[in-house]
Amino acid sequence: MRRCPHWLRLLPLILLLAGCGLFEHGGEKATGQKGALSVPATRIISQVLAREDVFPAELLAYQDVAVYPKVPGFIKWIGVDRGSVVKKGQLMVLMEAPKLHEQKKEAEAKVKAAERQLLEEQSKLSAARDDLAQAKAHLDADDSTYQRIKTAAKIPGVIAENEVVVLGKTVDGDRAAVAAKESIVKAVQADCLALEERKRAAERAANSFSDIADYLKITAPFDGYVTERNMHTGSFVGPLGKGAYPSIIRVQQLSLLRLVAPVPEVDAGGVEPGAKVNFTVSTYPGEMFSGDVARIGNYLDEKTRTMPVELNVWNPGWRLKPGMFAEVHWPTRREHPSLFVPSTAVAITTY
């Protein structure tokens, strides 16, 4: 068997001495040892990792609304088209709904009918109260006469006993009549209250149709840009989910965009709200844009193991468009220092 060279047996000792500082930096010979082997050494640096990773992202409109009507109907007029610039509250579409007008007239007729019934019942209530007042007056008069005769009858021979009995029964009858008329008044009052509630309900229904009539006017929800138009004058349209009707138009806000960046798991811990991040798009080669970290997803997608982070990107002149893909130059920083060595100090082998 071939023996190992003598100097290889000493290699571990030499490396140990080099680690203890007995050899000069840069591979010079050890002092005091003539003819000894030189060992290359390097300095390990401790610093916070700060690098820039590049990964894809997508630009989206900050606000994106597909405009549907709130009630079904026909488009009477449409004043915008693809490419139109709109302001918040601007009238974009006028609709007409014949069935809605019929329902509104029916609701108004119910209000008038409820008003007539209420007036009739209030008239009955007034008459019932008058009858009650007369019955009470009659009772008071008979009761007063009865009390006087009853007192006079205490003197023998002045008032016949039968007359006192008759007057007492008359008073009892008057009291029964008053109680009956009070019951009638309460019943008519209850009917009046029910009719008043019915009238209010009919008025609310009629007013709701007035509000629905306002739905026939479709206005812009915000300052934006019309990017789609799917309907034309005379088209029948309905609310979202009511049949297979597409939206009338789509409005997007272009002055402010969202840049949605899927940050890899390894970089997720270094995301800082408010940090400025640069990115590029293929439409403008060599030009750098920037956005501010505004919203952090705080969850990792199970398939890609990335965390969605949204940046606010101001877009003066609307040069950037929703749907563009971008390359984000993401600054990465670790919370704790790491140890660094030159790449030349790392040996790469295939075994």
Q: What is the domain partition of the chain in residue ranges?
A: 1-41, 56-62+253-345, 64-97+217-251, 99-215
Neighbouring CB atoms inside 10 A of 133's CB total 13
> Residue 140: CB partners within 8 Å, gap ≥ 6?
none
Neighbouring CB atoms inside 10 A of 132's CB total 19
Same fold, 56-62+253-345 and 64-97+217-251: no
Tell which wins on pLDDT, 333 or 217: 217
Tell which wins on pLDDT, 178 or 211: 178
Tell which wins on pLDDT, 322 or 272: 322
Q: 253: closest CA among 309, 310, 311, 322? A: 322
Here the tokens at position 300 are 């990792």
Query: What is the average pLDDT across 34-39?
Result: 67
Here the tokens at position 344 are 């030349």
Residue 17 confidence (pLDDT): 46
- Give residue 27's pLDDT band: very low, low, confident or very high (50, 70, 90): very low
Query: What is the average pLDDT across 119-140?
Result: 89
Lowest mean pLDDT among 50-59, 124-133, 256-265: 50-59
135 has a pLDDT exceeding 50: yes
85 has a pLDDT exceeding 70: yes
Q: DSSP alpha helices (H): ranges in 54-160?
A: 98-152
- Report the topology of domain 64-97+217-251: OB fold (Dihydrolipoamide Acetyltransferase, E2P) (2.40.50)
Here the tokens at position 72 are 């079904």
The per-residue pLDDT of the chain, averaged, comes to: 82
Cα separations in angstroms, 230 against 78, 120, 235: 11, 54, 10
Beta carbons of 310 and 260 less than 8 angstroms apart: yes
% of residues, the chain, pLDDT over 70: 85
Its pTM stands at 0.58
d(CA 215, CA 176): 59
Tell which wins on pLDDT, 92 or 343: 92
Q: Which helix (H) or strand (E) holds 16?
A: helix 11-19
Tell which wins on pLDDT, 62 or 209: 62
d(CA 98, CA 71): 12
106 conformational bin, left if phi > 0, alpha if psi -120 to 50, beta if neither: alpha
Cα separations in angstroms, 329 against 144, 305, 312, 313: 105, 19, 15, 14
Long-range contacts of 210-215 (CB under 8 A, 24+ apart): 210/104, 212/70, 212/71, 212/100, 212/104, 213/100, 213/104, 215/69, 215/70, 215/71, 215/95
d(CA 318, CA 122): 67
Residue 242 confidence (pLDDT): 58
49 has a pLDDT exceeding 90: no
Beta carbons of 109 and 269 less than 8 angstroms apart: no
Query: What is the average pLDDT across 109-133?
Result: 89
Gap between the terminal Cα atoms of the chain: 25
Residue 48 confidence (pLDDT): 65
d(CA 49, CA 47): 6
> Residue 155: CB partners within 8 Å, gap ≥ 6?
none
Query: What is the average pLDDT across 132-159?
Result: 82
- Report the topology of domain 56-62+253-345: Elongation Factor Tu (Ef-tu); domain 3 (2.40.30)
276-321, pLDDT tens digit by residue?
A: 999 999 999 999 999 999 999 888 888 889 999 999 999 999 999 9
Beta carbons of 42 and 342 less than 8 angstroms apart: yes
286, 290, 296, 301: CA torsion to nearest 10: -10
Residue 99 confidence (pLDDT): 78
- In words, the CATH class of domain 99-215 is mainly alpha
